[in-house]
Amino acid sequence: MALSDGTASRDQVQEAQRRAQARRTSLERAAVVEAARASEVRLWDDGAQATWHYVVLDDAEVRIECCVARCGCVHIPAEIEGKPVVALAAEACARLPGVEKIVCPDSLMSVGLCAFRDNRALRSVVLPAELASFDSDWFRGSPAVTHLVLPGRLARLDARIFDLPQLSVLVVGAETAEVEPGAFAKSALTAIEVDAANPFLTTDGIALYRREGGVLLALAVPVEEYAIHPGCTAVAEKGLSTCARVRRIEVPEGLKELGSFALARTGIRSFEAPASLKRIGEKAFFNCADLEEVRLREGLVSVGANAFTGTRLCELRLPASVEELGNPLAAKTGLTFAGPDATCTLAAGSRHLILDAAGGLYRVLDQGVCLVRMMDPEARSYEVRPDTVAVGDEAFANHACIADVVLPEGVEELGRAAFKACRHLVRVNIPSSMRRIGDEAFLDTNLTSMRIPAALEHLGHNALVTQGAHHGDGEPSLVDVRVDAGNVRFYTAPGLLLERKDEGHARVVLCMGGVDVVRIPAEVDEIAPYALNDVRGIRELYLSDRITKVGMRGLGIDGLAELIHVDLERPIEGHTSFDLRFPVTDRGAQQMMLALSVPDRVDVAALFEHYDNAIINASSFDPRHERGLDPYEQLVRLVARLQDPVFMTAVNRSMSEKVLREGVADFCVAAARHDDRRVVDALLDLGFLNADNLNAVIDRVGALKDAAMTAYLLEAKRVRFQCAALDFEL
C-alpha cells in the first residue's frame, strides 16, 4: 500500500526500536523525578538573567520551583550546584511580564502544569531535546507565542500544538515520527522546520513528508497554490484537508493514492488525476465547495464513499479500470446516474463493473452479476438485471425514494442490510431461487408482504423487522407472510412466522397481526427481537415458561391484553398454568408492558411481580382523571393473591397487607355495594376484618342502610368472636 512505511531494512527497524526505547526511558525518568524526595527550597542568582528558587531531588537532581526574571530572554540553567536541572514545577516560569523568550536546557525531563502560564509578552520557546511530551496547557494565558521548538523526543504531532493561536514558526524535533490526521487543520504557520537529525520526517518549509516512501503527511503552512513533490506516492489521511486557502494543487506523475479526506474542504476548483493514481479514499474531496471539474484516468482502481460529496461537479466520467465505487459517491451535487443524459457514467469495456441505464451498479462474477448498489438517489422502482445471482450488502440501504423492486429468478442471496432504512419500500418480490436473506435485510422498511420460497434456508437477524415493529411508532407493516410448500426451515401458525431449530425447538420470527388470540406453539423456546413489538389488537396471549430466550421487545405488544396464559413445564405449588388478567388501567398497561418487554425470557415471577404492582397501586398516573382501579376490583384481586400468594415477593405481600389493613372499612363498603359475602369471609379468614375493627365496619356498612350485609356482619361477629349482644341501633 502506498501509505505504508514500505519495506524497512534491519538497520531501520533497530534504529526505530532504539528511539522508541529512548522515549520510554525519558517518560519513565520523568515519572521518577515527580516521585523523588525534595529538599527545602533554595535560591540561586545566576548573576545576569534571573533568580531561581529550586529544590534538590534525592540529593542528585534539581527541580526549578520559581523564577524571578530580570531580562527579556531567559535561559533556564542546565545545572545548579553541579547537579542537573531535570524538572520545572507547576507554574515555575509563570507570570514573567517582561520575558519574550524562554530556552529550556536539554536536561529537562519533566515540565509541570502551566509552567509558562500568563506570560503575555512571551513570543519564543525552545523546549528540551530529551522531553517526550507536550501539553498546550503549559502556555495557558500566554497568547503571543509565535515561535516554538517542540520537544526532541515527542513521537507524534497533534492538534493541541495549535492551541497557541499566534503560532507562526514551528520546529519539529529529532524523534517525531508521526502526524495525527488533521493535526494542522487550524494552522496559521508561515514556516515549518524539521530537526536535521530526524530520520522519519522531512519538509520543504510548507508541507511535512515521510522521509521514506514519499508520503505527504500534512500541508503545514496554508498557501493558495502548492506543487506536491515529484517523488510523492501518496497523500495521507487529511493530508491537505481543511486548508480553505488552497485553490490549486499540482499533482505529480507517480502519485498512487489519495487517502481519506485527503483534500476535503479545500478551495480547489479542478483536479486532474495522473495516470499513476490507483485509489481515491473515502471523502477525499468532501465538501470542496468550489470543485467544478475532475478528470480521472484509466488505471484508477477504487473510489471511496462520499469522495465527491458536497462539490460543484456537473460531470464525472469514471474509467473502465475502476473495480470499487463507494456509495454515495457524490451526494449533494448535480450529478445524475440514470437515463441517456446521465452525467456520471462508467466507461464501456469494464471487466469488473457495470453501471446500467437505470443507475444500478453491478459487479461481474464468473456465474453472473451481483447488484452492488443503486446509484441513482431518485429511483422509485427498479427491475434487477435477469442475469443477477446476488444482491450485495447495503445495495439499497438508506435509499430515500425506492418503493418497489423486482428481483428475477436466479437471485440466490440478498445481502446484509440490502434494503435497510428504505422507508418508502413496500414491495420486493422474492424469487423461488432465493436461498439466503442477510441480517437486517428489510430493517426499517415498510414492506407489506413476503414470500418465503421452498429454497430459503437462512433468514438473518432482524431481517423482517419493519419500521413500526422496530421503533414502536406505528403498527408493523409486514402483515402477509406466506411460506411455500416444501420449505423445511420455516412454517406458519395463525398470525405467526416460525423457524425450526435443532432438537425439535422453534423460534418465533415475527407476528403478522390480524388475529386477536396469539398462541405460541409448544415447541417454541425463542422469540426473536421485535417479533411482537407494537402488534395491535391482541386480546389473549398464550405463552410457556419453556420460552427461555426473548429478544429485545420480542413480546412488546401494543395495548393491554385481556389475558396472558402461561403453561408451565413443571407444576408449581399445584399449578400447571397461570392466567393473568392485568387491570384495565394505565398502570395495568404499563406493568404488563414491563413484564413482557424487559425480561429476556418468559419469566413467570416477573409477570406476577408486575401484576401485583398494578393492583397495589390503584391510582392513575394522571391525578386529573379517574382511570385508577375500582376499590371493589382492587379488593377482589388483592384477596385472591393473598389466598394464593405464588411468586409474591415479600415487599409486595407487605404492601398488599398494608393496603387492606388501612382501607378495610372502605373495602367492606365496596363489598356491600356488590353484595359479595365471599370476599367479606376472605377478609375475616385473612385477619384483616377482626374483633378490633368489626364494630367500626358494621357502623360504616349500616350507614348504607344495607340490612342484609349488616346482618351478615353481625352474625359473623357472633359466630367468629362469640359476641351475642344485640345491636339496638340496628
Question: What's the pLDDT band for 720 if we cut at 50, 70, 90?
Answer: confident
**Cell of residue 511, nine digits:** 407476528
Residue ranges of domains in the chain, CATH in brackets: 362-488 (3.80.10.10)
Q: How many helices (H) and strands (E) does the chain have?
A: 10, 49
Nearest to 164 by CA among 138, 182, 190: 138
Q: Helices 586-597 and 604-616: crossing angle, nearest 10°?
A: 160
Q: pLDDT tens-digit profile of 552-596?
A: 999 999 999 999 999 999 999 999 999 999 999 999 999 999 999
Nearest to 133 by CA among 31, 216, 208, 65: 31
Q: How far apart are CA 145 and CA 433, in angstroms?
A: 70
The answer to whether residue 729 scores a pLDDT higher than 80 is no
Contact 374, 351 (CB under 8 A): no
Residue with cell 497554490: 225
* Cis status, amide bond into 631, omega within 30 of 0: no
pLDDT, position 1: 38
Q: How far apart are CA 93 and CA 101, in angstroms?
A: 11
CB neighbours of 625 closer than 8 A, spacing ≥ 6? none
Which is higher by pLDDT, 728 or 530?
Answer: 530
Contact 375, 397 (CB under 8 A): no
Question: What's the pLDDT band for 4 if we cut at 50, 70, 90?
Answer: very low
Contact 69, 96 (CB under 8 A): yes
Nearest to 174 by CA among 203, 153, 202: 153
The residues facing 170 across adjacent strands are 148, 192
Q: pLDDT tens-digit profile of 427-439?
A: 999 999 999 999 9
Question: For a pLDDT cut of 90, what percent of the chain falls above it?
Answer: 85
Looking at every residue in the chain, the average pLDDT score rounds to 92
Nearest to 394 by CA among 479, 325, 470: 325
The answer to whether residue 13 scores a pLDDT higher than 60 is no
pLDDT, position 70: 78
Question: What's the pLDDT band for 18 if we cut at 50, 70, 90?
Answer: low
Three-state SS annotation for 65-129: EEEEECCCEEECCCEECCEEEEEECCCCCCCCCCCCEEECCCCCCEECCCCCCCCCCCCEEECCC
Which is higher by pLDDT, 175 or 5?
Answer: 175
**In the predicted model, what is the mean pLDDT of residues 306-328?**
95
pLDDT, position 6: 41
CB neighbours of 342 closer than 8 A, spacing ≥ 6? 336, 357, 359
Q: pLDDT tens-digit profile of 95-110?
A: 999 999 999 999 999 9
Residue 293 C-beta-side C-alpha neighbours within 13 Å: 6
Three-state SS annotation for 490-526: EEEECCEEEEECHHHCEEEEEECCCCCEEECCCCEEE
Nearest to 183 by CA among 156, 152, 203, 145: 156
The answer to whether residue 88 scores a pLDDT higher than 50 is yes
* DSSP letter, residue 136: G
Q: pLDDT tens-digit profile of 129-170?
A: 989 999 999 999 999 999 999 999 999 999 999 999 999 999
**For the chain, first and last CA: distance in Å?**
102
Specify the pTM: 0.80
pLDDT, position 48: 76
pLDDT, position 624: 64
Strands (E), 131-179: 147-149, 156-157, 169-172, 178-179
* DSSP letter, residue 38: B
Run of H or E residues at 658: helix 650-662
Q: pLDDT tens-digit profile of 236-295?
A: 999 999 888 999 999 999 999 999 999 999 999 999 999 999 999 999 999 999 999 999
The answer to whether residue 7 scores a pLDDT higher than 90 is no
The answer to whether residue 185 scores a pLDDT higher than 60 is yes
Q: pLDDT tens-digit profile of 25-72?
A: 655 555 655 656 778 999 999 887 789 999 999 889 999 999 998 789
